[in-house]
Structure 1
Amino acid sequence: MARGSSTLYVPIVSPPTPAPSPRLSMSSRPNLHPEAFFQGLTFDPAHNSRQEFASLSTAGSAARRQYLASLLNECTPSELLFISTTIAPLLKRDFLKELPMELSLYILCFVDAPRTLARASQVSRHWHTLLSDEWTWKRMCDFYYFDTDRCGMRHATDEDEEEPLVEMERFADYPLDPALQWLIAKNRKRQHQSTSKELLDKSFSYRRYFKYSYKTMMNWRRNGHLLRAHRVPVVNPDSGVITSVALDADWVVVGLTNSRIHVFSAKTGVLSRTLIGHELGVWAVNLVSRGGYWGDDAMGSRHKRKERKRRGKERRWNEDDSLSSRLAGISLPNGPPGVDHLVPPSLRAALGLEERSGQHVSNQEDGTGEAEETEEFLETDLDPGKRSDDCCATEGWGQPNALVVSGGCDKVLRVWDVKTGYCIYVLRGHTSTIRCIKVLHNRPTAVTGSRDSTLRVWDVQRGRMLRVLQGHQQSVRCLDVCGNKVVSGSYDTTLRLWNVDTGECLHVMRGHFHQIYSVVFDGVHIASGGLDTTVRVWNATNGHCIALLQGHTALVCQLQLGPGILATGGSDGRVITFSLATFTALQRIAAHDSSVTSLQFDRRFLVTGGNDGRVRLFETKTGNYVRELTEPCESVWKVVYRKDTCAIMCKRAGKTVMEIWSYKPKETEV
């Protein structure tokens, strides 16, 4: 540096590289709203508010709610609508979709309202899939007591109707001749095929069945459809009285005191034909439905077959009796031959009389050892068998046509073919009016009770009387059957339990003080009512009276046994239901102003008809009145009903009126 110079030189150092600009953390970075880009904004205008709201987390939820409330108070209605539409999708959550299928179905099983389930099936596709599950609707059928056992898992074909399936294991213990081998092989093959069809048939739906049954039930509660009303002028007070009615799925059969029997279609209500042949009034009819199968109430139960095989006894076969009797395994008793050989071929087919190669094969016993074996096995039978139907209809034994068995004041029993209207048999034997008739299920055996104080057992397929049951001292007023047992009630104040196949009187039940007018039998209990205003319940095993039920003040003329319930109707207009477990009164209903002429109930409804001209519907469980089933009339004679059909027989404006109602849902509703 020169002397005298004031300039100071300092070395220049390069400046440091500048640090990167600071960036926002994930928690402090503003979330840009989509609308900010359209408005030209580069930042979130709610950033500061979000920071303030986040800082309130330490103050508790109350402070955060107060903050949100203050913001909502500053919003306009349109802004609140925007907030609502934005929040609603965030709150939606399909809990059934997030749960396993089993848990979802378990949750749905707590819903018993059909309308709720129907609305739930419209929520989403997943919910619709859940509510299409058959288990849910089967549970609903059970909850509402819709009988799924009878709805049929397999649709019958024409071949099935013409030649019913035969249970081949029934014949394992009997020696069969070569003439029957082809029939056995054919039926065995068809049984295997039918089992496969039942397993593979997917056409049946519990959902559709429940929908149909539920709508039918609601039609009972609200209104039905009158199919047809038939009116018959009454010439004199005794000529047009309806004495008996029978109903099945196809036919309604009505017996009158003018000696006529009218047959109506249960599906259309049209009068199909009138059966003319009785000379005097008809007092009892029984309808035998077409189809069915040969039953084993008499000799065919499994434990009997095992015992028979153990003893090594063999049947002796002749060539005079029907093939159907051999296939049934039922031992025919000794007696006069039938008149079936006089029946023309068309009516033989209607009776189910089968022929193969011009021969009939049967099992006529010698009257000693075989009969003793029959009686012995029947005494050890623990199965009570099928009880009689409440609508006076009987399951057939495989015959292609429905049959009507009738009796009345002309003392004869007549067997009719419903399809042709011809009278097949006129069976004589009673010496007084036939008052009551029952036909056993799946067997061509009819039992009649008469004012001549006897019961008679008939083979209505071959047209002959099998035996006479004697013991009553006065008129037999009523009877009921279950399996191969029949109980009869008489004006001599006693009841008798009989074995149909042997004719033995098993028990004589005494206790009533006046005439017996009604009796019902379910294989375990026997209930009887009469002029002494009481109802007695008897043990069918030993014949002892186990309960004396009181409550009526006049004749007890109507009885019905149901699952755990006994319903009684009397001339005092009362209907009383009793528990068979405790024998206490469940419901006491003042149903009519005069005598109860008809009484029938199921798990849901109780239908009564009275001499006051009313037909009323009640709830079985509570006894609550529901509605009137028809317009008031002068008097009601008979009322019978099935699931979706009801037949009402009454007198209106001096005429006998036969109304047939349908409660089926319309096709557009199913």
Structure 2
Amino acid sequence: QLSLGALPQEEQVKISGIWRDFASETAERRLLILQGLVNLCCIPQLSYLNRAVPQQLRVDFMAAAPPDISLKILSYLDAKSLCQAAQVSRTWASLANDDILWHRMCVQHIDKVCKKCGWGLPLLDRSGRRIYEATARLSSLVNSSELDSNPVSSVCSPQDNIQFMSDPHTSGASSGFMPFAVIPQRALRIRGREEEGGNVSDSSSTVAGNSHGHRTKRRPWKDIFAERQIVANNWRKFRYRELQVQAHADGILCVQFNDEYMITGSYDSKVHVWDSETMELVSELTGHTMPVRALEFDECKLFSGSLDGTVKIWDYRTGTCIRTLRVFDNGGVISLHHRMGTLVVGGESGTIRVYNIAKMTSFELTGHTDWVNSVRLYGANTLFSCSDDMLVKRWDLEQRQCVRTFSGHSHHVQSLQLSSNGLLKSDSANRKSGQQQLSSRNADNNTRPFMITGSLDSTMRVWDIDTGECLDTIFGHIEGIWSLEFDSLRIVTGSNDGTVKVWDTSSHACLFTLKTTSAAINCVSISDTCIIVGDNDGYVRVYDFRDTHS
């Protein structure tokens, strides 16, 4: 129109008439006229048509389609493709960055292995984990009406298969309560950090306010995915920051940590409480007269078990011993586990004692003939134990008897860990690791709960909890395995040969090996961002896989 306005009036009328006549013709005649015009055009004019016609034919189908259809199309993309789509235009960016898409992407990958891509992301931090699980349940109700199906689940694995591993370090996070006035300033500082950077989504969670009307800061799900992706990439490429601390004067026998504290027990009969962030010693708990063999803590209290035959219950924030339980008169405490008001203690004589903490009543289980190295509660009335007698036993706490014995190890069984999830086998992960799948007779075991045990015969064994069948035997360590822990993505083992190995939970492939020291590794602990190792020389080593720039 600008070029037309620069012409004389007579030519403007003439050209406008030609356009008007062309617009009034039928489609067949328009095509005929165009064919004649193309035949009359010279080379420069044909070049102009070659440039102009593609621009006229280019249609942004994402902008033209209804938003629901566009979101449906984008929901079939992986994370990398979504990020690339967001760079096409502002319209595409507003669609590709939609919180619905990224929430589903988080649901598909966080704390599980995606069956399509073969990768998984670590769990959120403790404060964000509770909100993540709540919003996942809320969004499953909201999204069912927004789109007719879950497109991401249709590409990858079903959404109803998503389960979360129980975390012994945070299992009591929601049960503990302290009046605001008596919460230590250090705890308030950590809580402030959690609220400032809490992993919460804008559109997939309800914005809640406190009594002063303050609205908590929300984060997009894309940011949450990106943060977890950085940590996951560090795990895959084995990038970490290492910190070494002389925690005790003698060997460390047990370690546990969460976002606030790390607690260690040692041959020197002491329990040390550390700041998890700064690795500074917060307090020293004394009272045991022999080595501290086992410990476990939650938000409120700490249980420590010693070879002096006692279990002490501490308020570890103040350093006060609340109660001392004389568990065994003729042997020491080797292992313990506390869950939902039940305390289980394994002894040096092969006896297991079960306490009801609220009523302070107890009973004994007998069946092992040697040290009970690990005890784990499972469900409401089930207990698992492993011993130096090379056996793993399953107990019914209502009947107070052993209902199944797992045999197969050829040396002392030192540790066991349980999963409430099935063992998710990823085809993609297996192909990448070069590992063969389990035999077809075990294919139906992929959704069943499982148990992993470590022994001084240098092997780990994976067991089907329900049937008692050994699903796999994992080799790799040169000497015996003293400790192991695992989550939904990886297994960590510590050995008498001074090495720590990290394994893929799905394929059982060894991902990498840490040669930490010449001393034996007595205990290991794992979270979604770090590995903590305690050795026989009294050192604690922390391998932090978080983003080095955060």
TM range (shorter): 0.5 to 0.7
Tell whether 2:544 aligns with 1:662: yes
Q: Which residue pairs with 1:247 in the alignment? A: 257
Whether the 8 Å contact between 1:534 and 1:556 is mirrored in structure 2 is: yes
For residue 594 of structure 1, report the CA deviation from its aligned partner. Answer: 0.9
Given the alignment of the two structures, is residue 44 of structure 1 paired with residue 34 of structure 2, yes or no? Answer: no
Q: 477-486 vs 98-107, which deviates more?
A: 98-107
Contact 1:457 1:500 (8 Å CA) reproduced: no
Q: Matches of residues 297-316 of structure 1 in structure 2 within 5 Å?
A: none
In the alignment, structure 2 segments of 5+ residues that lack a partner are: 1-21, 112-121, 132-177, 184-207, 421-448
Q: Tell me if 1:229 matches 2:195.
A: no
Is contact 1:568-1:576 (8 Å) kept? yes
Q: Which sits farther off after the overlay, 554-563 or 220-229?
A: 220-229
On the 8 A contact 1:638/1:650 being kept in 2, the answer is yes
Structure 1 Cα separation of the partners of residues 334 and 263 of structure 2:
21
Partner Cα distance (2:501, 2:52) in 1? 57
Other-structure match for 1:371 = none
Deviation at 1:558, TM superposition (A): 1.1
The residue type paired with residue 354 of structure 2 is L
Q: In 1, distance between residues paired with 2:517 and 2:526?
A: 18
Per-residue Cα deviation, 1:294-346 (whole angstroms, up to 9, x for no partner): xxxxxxxxxxxxxxxxxxxxxxxxxxxxxxxxxxxxxxxxxxxxxxxxxxxxx
Give the letter for the 2:547 counterpart: P
Of 84, 96, 99 in structure 2, the residue corresponding to residue 134 of structure 1 is 99
Written as runs of structure 1 = structure 2, the 5 A alignment for 1:166-185 is: none
- 1:118 aligned to 2:47? no
> Please, which of 406, 414, 420 is the counterpart of residue 549 of structure 1?
406
Q: Does structure 2 conserve the Cα–Cα contact (< 8 Å) formed by 1:523 and 1:540? A: no
- Identity among equivalent positions (%) equals 22
Distance 1:462 1:491, change over 3 A: closer
Give 1:659 shift: 2.6
Please give the alpha-carbon distance, in whole angstroms, between the structure 1 residues aligned to 2:278 and 2:315: 32
Residue 313 of structure 1 corresponds to none
Measure the CA separation in 1 of the matches of 2:331 and 2:489: 39
Deviations 1:133-164 (A, max 9, x none): 2222222222222545834399xxxx996566
1:512 partnered with 2:364 = no
* Aligned equivalents of 2:505, 2:491: Cα separation in 1: 5
Q: Which residue identity lines up with residue 210 of structure 2 in the other structure?
A: S
In structure 2, the residue matched to 1:436 is 294
- In structure 2, the residue matched to 1:205 is 220
Give runs of aligned pairs for residues 249-648 of structure 1, distance below 5 A: 249-258=259-268, 265-268=275-278, 272-273=280-281, 405=285, 408=288, 410=289, 435-439=293-297, 441-444=298-301, 446-451=302-307, 453=309, 455=311, 466=323, 468=325, 474-505=331-362, 507-524=363-380, 525-563=382-420, 564-630=449-515, 633-648=518-533
One-letter amino acid of the counterpart of residue 567, structure 1? I
CA offset at residue 553 of structure 1?
A: 1.4
1:472 deviation in Å?
6.9
Contact 1:406 1:437 in 2 (8 A): no
DSSP 3-state at the match of 2:210: helix
Relative distance call for 1:639 and 1:194 in structure 2 (3 A) is same
Paired residue secondary structure (1:194): coil
Comparing 584-593 with 528-537, which one deviates more in the overlay? 584-593
> How far apart, CA to CA, are the structure 2 residues paired with 1:207 and 1:98?
25
Superposition RMSD on alpha carbons, in Å? 4.2
Distance 2:399 2:83 in 1: 52
Answer whether contact 1:587 1:622 (CA < 8 A) is retained.
no
Give 2:232's match in structure 1, choosing from 214, 217, 242: 217
Q: CA deviation at 1:592?
A: 0.9
The answer as to whether partners of 2:410 and 2:457 remain within 8 angstroms in 1 is yes
Q: 1:498–1:618: structure 2 CA closer, same or farther, 3 Å change rule?
A: same
d(CA) in 1 for partners of 2:340 and 2:496?
Answer: 33
- 1:251–1:265 contact (8 Å) kept in structure 2: yes
The amino acid across from 1:511 in the alignment is G
Specify every segment of 5 or more residues in structure 1 that has no aligned partner in the other structure, as ranges.
Answer: 1-22, 37-42, 49-75, 165-191, 274-401, 412-432
Contact 1:498 1:504 in 2 (8 A): yes
The answer (yes or no) to whether the contact 2:346–2:375 under 8 Å persists in 1 is yes
Q: Distance in 2 between the 1:617 and 1:592 partners?
A: 11
Cα distance change on mapping 1:115 and 1:247 into 2, 3 Å: same
SS of the counterpart of 1:44?
Answer: helix
> CA offset at residue 557 of structure 1?
0.6
Q: Are the aligned partners of 2:462 and 2:471 in contact in 1 as well (CA < 8 Å)?
A: yes
Partner of 2:532, secondary structure, is strand
Larger radius of gyration: 1
Mean Cα deviation higher: 628-637 or 570-579: 628-637
Determine the C-alpha separation between the residues in 2 that align with 1:607 and 1:462: 31
Q: CA deviation at 1:119?
A: 1.6
Shift of residue 619 of structure 1?
A: 1.1
Deviation at 1:661, TM superposition (A): 2.2
Which residue number in structure 2 is paired with residue 300 of structure 1? Answer: none
Distance 2:450 2:286 in 1: 30
CA 202–107 in structure 1, closer or farther in 2 if over 3 Å, else same = farther
What secondary structure sits across from 2:233 in the alignment? helix
Decide whether aligned partners of structure 1 residues 97 and 580 sit closer, same or farther in structure 2, where only a CA change above 3 A counts: farther
Q: Following TM superposition, by how much is the alpha carbon of 1:560 offset from its aligned partner in structure 2, in angstroms? A: 1.7
CA-CA distance at 1:499 after TM superposition: 0.7
3-state SS in 2 of match to 1:46: helix
- State the 1:640 CA deviation: 2.0
CA distance in 1, matches of 2:269, 2:353: 30
2:164 counterpart residue number: none
Shift of 1:29: 5.4
Taking the aligned partners of 1:259 and 1:471, their CA distance within structure 2 comes to 17
Deviations 1:76-124 (A, max 9, x none): 9x9999887666546655444344333433343333x322222222222
Output one character per residue of 1:477-517: Cα deviation in whole Å (capped at 9) or x when no partner: 21111121111112332322211122212x53333243322
TM-score, reference length from structure 1: 0.53
Inter-partner Cα distance in structure 1 for 2:46 and 2:401: 81
Q: Kindly tell me: are residues 149 and 462 of structure 1, through their superposed partners in 2, closer, same or farther at Cα, counting changes over 3 Å?
A: closer
CA, structure 1 residues 443+28, in 2 after alignment: closer, same or farther (shift >3 Å)?
A: closer
Structure 1 partner of 2:210: 194
* TM score, norm. by length of structure 2: 0.64
Cα gap change, 1:79 to 1:481, in 2 (>3 Å): farther
Change (3 A) 1:208 1:644: same
In the alignment, the residues of structure 2 paired with residue 666 and residue 508 of structure 1 have an alpha-carbon distance, to the nearest angstrom, of 49
